[in-house]
């Protein structure tokens, strides 16, 4: 990979970064009116903050966003037996009717599965369950079980009929949208804010999935803390202006056995936790779903294949920050100016 060292990243004290970022996300200077809330949805804590001129209308818009999040959770959840996704997983090859929203998210996510050569695979769910990531009752599946599970991971078997608005999934296979649902939710909320005329908002959909609408009320970009995958502290800050960001990492959900860490992002080829030498991947782009889905996929692919994907698909408009297991960083040039390290001393490579 052609690469050059980046010597001019400035560093600033960590406490300053935390103050600026208000925890995981950016903390805005006060505009004339501001509303915010935190809710628990899609198995994570989400924080929404809206800025504008009129408190009452902002509050109405915020209430609408919260309703949408609960509705999306009901539709897209894999554990709620009443959800469309559960119906698909029980369908044993029979076509299941889809709402426009479920069809939209499945179709966009399947495109990413194809684009990433199956590194993202919505049908990894039986393997995710086998490791205990859905219940917290963790276990190590044996080699034969993993081979069997991997044989049944194949997103091409999930077929959408865009005329009949149905989907089919063969018996023995199950799909989940855990890798893309929060990003998709961010896109839906951003559309709602646009309709309401809100031009400054920060939507933290949890687990480092962020939608930055416009800029902060003072016109400066949002400042988002990026977690150090090797610790509790912050690695640095990314500035966002009307952009989405998604991070996937082995530190987000994992268990340890005999000193080995097993995390919730699986390699569809092996049905086991993906080990590509990457500790976390952050993707910045226009769409939440794309950033969320690609961060998961790039964690599986690793740096070399991930950068190749970035080169092959400029139309995606994505920028990437890889944190490798040895603590070094690899970033694409579009992040060179918008990413600032919290502390100096890391090897940083900007690809070209
Ligand atoms: P998080 O949900 O913690 O932000 P991700 O967006 O990376 O993390 O999504 C991880 C979730 O996606 C897992 O909990 C699992 O349900 C599912 N998953 C795991 N591996 C894959 C994969 N290779 N392709 C698609 N989905 C996956
Ligand atoms: Mg993801």
pLDDT on residue 307? 98
Full residue range of the structural domain in which residue 235 is found: 3-77+179-351
The pTM assigned to this predicted structure is: 0.91
Q: What is the mean predicted confidence (pLDDT) over 2-25?
A: 34
Cα separation, 60 vs 62, in Å, equals 5
CATH number of residue 122's parent domain: 1.10.3980.10
Protein residues with CB under 6 Å of any ligand 1 atom:
120-122, 124, 128, 133, 176, 178-179, 207, 209, 248, 252-253, 264-266, 268, 292, 295-296, 300
Ligand nearest to the CA of 288: 2
Is there a single domain that holds both residue 31 and residue 125?
no
Q: E-assigned strands of 24-114?
A: 33-41, 44-52, 96-97
pLDDT on residue 232? 81
Is there a single domain that holds both residue 13 and residue 141?
no
3-class state of residue 283 by DSSP: strand
Is there a single domain that holds both residue 215 and residue 337?
yes
Q: Identify whether 173 is part of a domain.
A: no
69: CA distance to ligand 2 center in Å?
Answer: 17
Is there a single domain that holds both residue 292 and residue 186?
yes
Is there a single domain that holds both residue 11 and residue 107?
no
pLDDT at position 266 over 50: yes
Q: Identify whether 174 is part of a domain.
A: no
Of 321 and 231, the structure prediction assigns the larger pLDDT to 321
Mean pLDDT over each residue of the chain, to the nearest integer: 91
Is there a single domain that holds both residue 236 and residue 270?
yes
* 21 phi/psi in degrees, rounded to 5: -95, -10
Q: How many domains does the chain have?
A: 2
pLDDT on residue 31? 53
Q: Which residues are close to ligand 2, an ion, with C-beta < 5 A?
A: 179, 292, 295-296
Q: pLDDT, tens digit, for every residue of 166-223?
A: 999 999 999 999 999 999 999 999 999 999 999 999 999 998 999 999 999 999 999 9
The C-alpha angle 202, 175, 171, rounded to 5 degrees, equals 165
Is there a single domain that holds both residue 246 and residue 121?
no
Q: How far apart are the first and last CA of the chain?
A: 8
**Domain-terminating residue out of 141, 168, 195:** 168
pLDDT at position 147 over 90: yes
Of 30, 32, 81, the closest CA to residue 57 belongs to 32
Contact 160, 106 (CB under 8 A): yes
pLDDT on residue 220? 97
Read off the pLDDT band of 231 (50, 70, 90). confident
Is there a single domain that holds both residue 195 and residue 329?
yes
Is there a single domain that holds both residue 213 and residue 282?
yes
CATH number of residue 319's parent domain: 3.10.520.10
pLDDT at position 330 over 60: yes
Ligand nearest to the CA of 292: 2
Is there a single domain that holds both residue 137 and residue 46?
no
Please give the structure tokens belonging to residue 334.
């579009």
255: CA distance to ligand 2 center in Å?
Answer: 19
Contact 274, 265 (CB under 8 A): yes
């Amino acid at each position: 990979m052609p690469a050059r060292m980046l010597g001019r990243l400035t560093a600033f004290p960590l406490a300053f970064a935390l103050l600026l970022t208000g925890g995981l996300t950016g903390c805005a200077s006060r505009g004339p009116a501001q509303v915010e809330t935190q809710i628990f949805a899609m198995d994570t804590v989400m924080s929404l903050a809206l800025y504008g001129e009129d408190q009452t209308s902002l509050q109405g818009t915020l209430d609408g966003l919260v309703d949408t999040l609960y509705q999306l959770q009901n539709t897209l959840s894999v554990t709620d037996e009443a959800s469309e996704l559960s119906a698909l997983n029980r369908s044993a090859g029979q076509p299941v009717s889809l709402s426009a929203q479920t069809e939209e998210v499945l179709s966009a996510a399947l495109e990413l599965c194809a684009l990433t050569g199956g590194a993202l695979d919505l049908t990894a769910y039986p393997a995710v369950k086998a490791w205990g990531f859905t219940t917290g009752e963790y276990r190590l599946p044996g080699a034969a079980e993993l081979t069997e599970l991997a044989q049944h991971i194949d997103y091409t078997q999930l077929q959408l009929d865009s005329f009949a608005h149905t989907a089919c999934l063969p018996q023995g296979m199950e799909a989940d949208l855990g890798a893309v649902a929060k990003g998709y939710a961010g896109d839906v909320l951003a559309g709602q804010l646009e309709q309401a005329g809100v031009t400054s908002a920060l939507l933290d959909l949890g687990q480092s999935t962020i939608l930055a609408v416009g800029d902060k009320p003072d016109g400066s970009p949002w400042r988002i803390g990026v977690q150090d995958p090797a610790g509790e502290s912050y690695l640095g800050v990314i500035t966002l202006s009307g952009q989405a960001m998604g991070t996937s990492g082995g530190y987000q959900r994992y268990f340890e056995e005999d000193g080995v860490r097993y995390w919730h992002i699986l390699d569809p080829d092996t049905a086991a936790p993906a080990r590509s030498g990457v500790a976390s991947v952050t993707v910045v782009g226009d769409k939440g779903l794309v950033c969320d889905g690609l961060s998961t996929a790039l964690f599986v692919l690793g740096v070399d294949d991930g950068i190749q994907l970035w080169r092959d698909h400029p139309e995606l408009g994505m920028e990437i920050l890889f944190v490798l297991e040895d603590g070094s960083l690899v970033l694409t040039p579009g992040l060179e100016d918008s990413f600032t390290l919290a502390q100096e001393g890391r090897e940083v490579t900007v690809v070209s």
